[in-house]
Structure formats: structure tokens, C-alpha cells
Chain A
């Protein structure tokens, strides 16, 4: 049985690797080679490994991730690990397994921020929309007040 390949996504000049479900050793071995090859080819600035979809992480997976991060750094890409769940973290800590030397972030947004990606919205008329909403709210409130008045009259 051939396992599915873990995707490697290009995102704002960085590479994103989302780990999902049950990650096997052979999947990780292939991923490691592929990621390093992609870094060399594309000259990416950062490597984000998103582990939010991983249901468990043992010492081996942890070691492979650590090695991948180190290799990426050697090639000049900044590695960031993000999305580790509370269960995964507690289990690793109980075992005494450490993942030293890798930058971490709470989630994907945090990882992107860490790599210097800034979010700006391009909706120029956002302000106008807000004003419109405000306006509608005032009208609504006024109508409500009027309704109250009517009731009082009755």
C-alpha cells in the first residue's frame, strides 16, 4: 500500500508543510528529502511545519522533525514549527523528549508573523462599509425607540 504524499505548499515566499493524522516513518523520510530539494530549487526564506493535524508524536517523529528543521537552517531557510496540540506537548514532556533549537508558534498565523509576513487588507471601502453599518444601526435604534413610544401611547 502506498501512503499519500505529505503536501509541500508555497506560501508568500515560504514553504508550508501541513502534517495530518497518522504520520509514518517512511512518509517523513520522503518528506525530508522533498522539502530540502524544494528549498534548494526555490530558495525559500522560511519553512513552516504545521503539526496541528497530528494526533500523536513520538520520540522518533520528534527527532526527524528536529533534523529536518536543522537541515533547513543549514540551507538558509528559517524553520518554524507550529500548531502543536496540548496532548502532544504533554506527552512529549512526560517522556522527557525535547525539541530544542526550533522556533515555535501557536498556529499558522503566528508562524507567518514570525517569518515577517504582514497582513494588510485591500478593501479600500472598508471604512465606507463601517460608516454604512453605523448608519443602519442608528436608524434601527431609532425605529426601536419609536416602537417603544408607540407602545407607551397605547
Chain B
């Protein structure tokens, strides 16, 4: 156990037996995939969520708010999830954007699958910019909630997508794969908006976490 883990256990064991406290923490860490000894304040948002289910089960109901408050003070809410934007101009930006999005989703308390969904959509949008417009901009805006969400936006001043409604209808098969990627983003996202004319394209997608 590291210092932070010991501190969490100490707080928990003020309200339940020490054995229970240890196992509540261990269970919460296992759920978020952090092995013993590796807990840091980076994991705060996700740990908070998992710990509270253990607290609800094992601590006396009347003491729960106080206990949760103590935990929050100790762990903090982690570093605030910050928005970012990337000037997209080369292939390396695809990797950069999707890795950043993945990190943000996890920081907001999202799970691996949600991170994968948002990152895959990001990958499609940023690659489209490079392939069809050459350069553009990718922006990512987190919403801490609750419920938390992530807004992404890809915009460029390229030649635009000629038959956008057809592409998004799913009845279009391009040889280059543009349709498949964009339609995929639409299906992955909880909210999706696309606008395109001869002066450029702007795609917005929202992921609920």
C-alpha cells in the first residue's frame, strides 16, 4: 500500500472494520484497474465513484455524507478536465488527438469502452481532415456534469463534402472510405451534427459518459 491508499483506508476504517475498509478500497481499485500501490490523485474521479458504492453498502447511512466528504477532501476531484484544441496538419496529429481524448474521457470518470468510442470517432474525424482538407482544427470540450459528457468538433476549410446527406444516410459507398468513417462517427456519438459547403466542413459530436 502506498501513502494515499493508507490514508483512504484510515478514513474508511473510522466507519467500518479495518478488514472491510481494506477490501472496499481493493475492490474499488480493481474496478478502475489500478493495482495496489499504484493509486495516485490522477485516478480521483473514477475512484470516488467506485468507493462510494462500497461506502453505501458498508457504512452506517447517517455517517455516509460525512465520510464521502472526507474522502473528497483527501483525494480531491483530480486535476480539472481541461478543453484542448489541435491544429491538424500531419498524420501524427491523428494519434495525438485520439490519445488526448481517451485520457480526457477516463479523467471525466468514463470507462474503457466509452474512451474507445470517443477516441475512435476522433480518429476518424481527424484523419478525414488530413485526407480531404489537408489541414484543419480539432477541439475537445469536456463537461464535468453530472452527467459528464465530451464534445468534439472537427472543422476545416477544405472543398467540403459534396453529398453529405447521402453519405450520412448509409446508402453511399465511397472508394476512399470517407463515408464509412463519417457514418461511423454518427453511429458512435450520442449527438451528431454535420455541416458542409464548398468553403469547408464542420462536424460536431457529443459523447455522454
Partner-B contacts on A (CB < 8 A): 1, 22, 24-26, 55-60, 63, 87-88, 90-91, 94-97
Contact = CB atoms under 8 A, between A and B. Distances in A.
A55 B101 CA distance: 13
Given A22-B99, A24-B94, A58 B123 contact: yes
Interface SS majority for chain B? helix
A58 B124 contact: yes
A21 B202 CA distance: 29
Interface SS majority for chain A? helix
Interface in B117-134: 117, 119-120, 123-124, 127
Contacts of A56: 98, 102, 116, 119-120, 123
Interface of B: 91-92, 94-95, 98-99, 102, 112-113, 116-117, 119-120, 123-124, 127, 170, 177, 180-181, 183-185, 187-188
B94 A25 contact: yes
Given A58-B120, A58-B127, A88-B116, A94 B187 contact: yes
A56 B98 CA distance: 9
A25 B187 contact: no
Nearest to A25: B91
Contacts of A57: 120
Contacts of B170: 96
B123 A87 contact: no
B161 to A, nearest CB: 16
Contact of B183 (A1, A55, A90, A95): A95
Given A56-B98, A95-B184, 7 more contacts: A56-B123, A63-B177, A90-B113, A91-B117, A94-B184, A96-B187, A97-B180
A110 B142 CA distance: 41
A44 B202 CA distance: 47
Given A59-B177, A59-B180, A95-B187, A26 B91 contact: yes
A87 to B, nearest CB: 5
Contacts of B91: 24-26
Given A24-B95, A56-B98, A87-B112, A94 B127 contact: no
